[in-house]
């Protein structure tokens, strides 16, 4: 990777660089001069648009929406012509009442429209192990059920960005393996008006095409990152993303040696995943403690 001329805190790996600085500064002074049209995937989970501020530095309300859209527009020149942007924005509740805030959905739509992007597909990250919340309405009042998913929007400059679902195939079910062995299938017309031929499911393609619901329980409590942060007394990031989420999109939307960018790295799950998959990567994290802790993602 090209090294910044400015003396920001940073660390390097064989395939990436992580910079401790506000993303707006890094985009303007480092990325734009060096990486125009070279980033294949921008993958990030910005601070959530909550209606009250949290420790990890989120803005709130309309201010959040405007800020994120401005960041998005500044990133567009970096993206290759067939590259992709994947953004996760977490859910929020309106303060003082058991009603869901529409601000996250409004922000995603505003981001797409203001940046002039195409929405390729919406994905759901479902965490079955997520703790019940909000506590007031789910645990105490018992008037709501727990909130256990967030949205990820896959967007691009073009309706046809690079993508291959062959790189994210899932293991076939036992029933599908039995079907291959028997060669028999209930073919014919379905109520949906799909007409299934005798050979429609006879070919083994190496795996099943996944759905747009990604199930990943963030329950790992003994990995290297957590252990080292505890040993060193470093703050553990409160909203860590499971490795399975960036892994899915990096595999599907990039090829080896292409560049993956995360502007809100947190504990740098994206960089660690890109390194493991032999992609080049650039990560940016404004919080010093989270930046220091993210080093422990790497040996």
> Does residue 135 sit in the same domain as residue 48?
yes
What string of H, E and C letters represents the secondary structure of 218-272?
Answer: CCCCCCHHHHHHHHHCCCCCCCCCCCHHHHHHHHHHCCCCCEEEECCCCCCHHHH
251 is a domain residue:
yes
State pLDDT tens for residues 47-74.
Answer: 876 545 544 455 667 888 999 999 999 9
Q: Higher-confidence residue: 190 or 255?
A: 255
CA Rg value for the chain: 21
Is residue 108 located within the same domain as residue 225? yes
Res 182: pLDDT: 72
pLDDT tens, residue by residue, 64-115: 899 999 999 999 999 999 999 999 998 888 889 999 999 999 999 999 999 9
1 within a domain of the structure (yes/no):
no
Quickly count: other Cβ atoms within 10 Å of residue 260's Cβ: 28
- Residue 227's domain is classified under what CATH number? 3.40.50.150
Assigned domain for 160 exists = yes
Q: Are strands 188-189 and 195-196 parallel, antiparallel or unpaired?
A: antiparallel
183: three-class secondary structure by DSSP: coil
Residues 175 and 164 in one domain: no
Would you say residue 217 lies in a domain?
yes
Residue 2 inside a domain? The answer is no
The residue among 245 and 55 whose pLDDT is bigger is 245
What is the average per-residue pLDDT within 236-242?
A: 88
Question: Is 158 within a domain?
Answer: yes
CA distances from 276 to 162, 178, 182, 246 (A): 21, 34, 39, 11
Mean pLDDT score, 246-258: 98
Give 185-234 pLDDT, tens digit per residue.
666 676 776 676 666 566 777 888 999 999 998 777 668 999 999 999 99
Q: What angle do CA 52, 53, 56 make, to 5 degrees?
A: 145
Cβ atoms of 277 and 271 closer than 8 Å: no
Structural domain including 192 reads: 171-208
Same domain, 130 and 273: yes
For residue 213, tell me if it sits in a domain.
Answer: yes
Is pLDDT larger for residue 189 or for residue 23? 23
Is 164 a domain residue? yes
- Give residue 1's pLDDT band: very low, low, confident or very high (50, 70, 90): confident
**What distance in Å separates the CA atoms of residue 115 and residue 87, rounded to the nearest whole number?**
13
DSSP state of 275: H
């Amino acid at each position: 990777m090209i090294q910044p001329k400015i003396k920001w805190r940073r660390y390097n790996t064989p395939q990436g660089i992580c910079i401790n600085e506000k993303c707006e500064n890094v985009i303007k002074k480092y990325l734009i001069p060096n990486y125009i049209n070279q980033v294949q995937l921008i993958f990030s989970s910005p601070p959530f648009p909550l209606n009250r501020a949290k420790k990890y530095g989120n803005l709130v309300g309309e201010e959040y929406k405007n800020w994120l859209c401005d960041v998005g527009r500044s990133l567009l020149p970096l993206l290759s012509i067939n590259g992709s942007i994947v953004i996760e924005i977490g859910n929020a509740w309106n303060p003082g009442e058991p009603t869901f805030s529409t601000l996250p959905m409004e922000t995603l739509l505003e981001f797409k429209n203001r940046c002039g992007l195409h929405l390729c597909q919406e994905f759901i990250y479902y965490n079955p192990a997520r703790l019940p919340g909000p506590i007031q309405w789910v645990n105490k009042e018992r008037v709501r059920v727990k909130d256990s998913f967030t949205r990820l929007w896959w967007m691009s400059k073009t309706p046809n960005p690079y993508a291959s679902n062959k790189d994210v195939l899932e293991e076939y079910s036992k029933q599908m393996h039995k079907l291959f062995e028997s060669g028999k299938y209930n073919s014919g017309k379905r109520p949906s008006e799909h007409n299934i031929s005798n050979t429609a499911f006879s070919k083994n393609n190496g795996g099943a095409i996944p759905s747009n619901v990604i199930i990943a329980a963030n329950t790992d409590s003994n990995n290297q990152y957590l252990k080292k942060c505890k040993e060193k007394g470093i703050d553990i990031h409160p909203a860590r993303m499971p490795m399975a989420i960036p892994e899915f999109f990096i595999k599907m939307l990039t090829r080896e040696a292409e560049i993956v960018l995360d502007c809100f790295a947190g504990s740098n799950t994206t960089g660690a995943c890109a390194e493991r998959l032999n992609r080049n990567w650039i990560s940016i994290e404004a919080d010093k403690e989270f930046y220091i802790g993210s080093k422990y993602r790497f040996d």
